[in-house]
Structure 1
């Protein structure tokens, strides 16, 4: 494996509680009758890639909402909350980035957060430097592909690595399925339960020790890579067997 793709910002830093607060403040300031409690938000977070679209049984109200304006307001509120928040770095994540640096593995980040929020979180985590990412793609970036599957391919291309040589770290069910569909070599479900079908398809569950999981996958080949290696080896053997014998002439 040559690269690790973090499928959301929450794979590095858990923003769920302060983002929930930011959404609720944005709803209130916009005069919307929505409120997400901790349980509702957690359930939504498991289903979605990152929570960024409000849901409500009041479809008439939902149609009248300017989503871009609502998200911009949420980002302003969240930015201020991040500035006032004291982040405690996860030693497991810091250790993971140390390992990736030593192994010179490329690191990418896909986020549905705006670049404002991504940069503010990275600035708040001194153990994760700006140079720790080969490529970052955020919501609203110019030229960003519309479908998330294409975002994976675009990010891998930017890092100059094949998708089947990447490990994706996902924190939601939708993220897991999208990474699989995109053709990522190994998909790791970080602190999110997986189904029997996902486990059978090769999705690896990592409850807490993400570094140990990545170490076990670092030198692991995918099925397609094994087949490609076998085909290449067989071709070399055939060519070697059929090549004309070279004779060394002596004077």
Structure 2
């Protein structure tokens, strides 16, 4: 389990951790199942930034931009890169090998750039609405802002539930090498169930503390899982399986999906 924690936090965040002693099975599966827990790192950093921004009197929209920037910095923009590459691959060609070759390149094409812009705009504008709603449920003051900012943690944890869903048993890798090959199909049903329950508990508790409706967290989890499932099915049809880029795309889409759910339910 220690190796799984090291692999999860070392791969999914930009913060330095000791390297795992082994990445042989079952470590990859356990690490991907712990992805929502690793989301506490960018979520916690975003929470502090949101709290500080609100206390300084910044508009919630400005705070939302700062939080999304912290999310990107906390992962070295790894997930955004995956989103861009996945969009480029899906739109490049109906030929599987051609699509995978486009995704393997380091540059971003028009589809990738447009998709990143759209998703980031959606994340920022919906987070702005969530923060406004959360603040309205508290009496104000530093304690109210501190609690309202907890919505950021709700989103960060919920979005990373996309990772074990993508890496669940039965989902093949698109390539024989790379991160996707190492983790594809590695999360068994018991681990996936545990990850979902853990995410549901954290999302419910933090969302309620933030001042959102009690069902907001559970709905965000559900919507994230559904959005991720759509992405997985598309990846399997177009690419024959998943890649590390698809995992990154799942997280960014998960952030947008979770925030949309919080806006609708609050």
Query: Which TM class, normalised by the smaller chain length?
Result: under 0.3
Greater helix fraction, Structure 1 or Structure 2 = 2
TM-score of the pair, normalised by structure 1? 0.28
TM-score of the pair, normalised by structure 2? 0.27
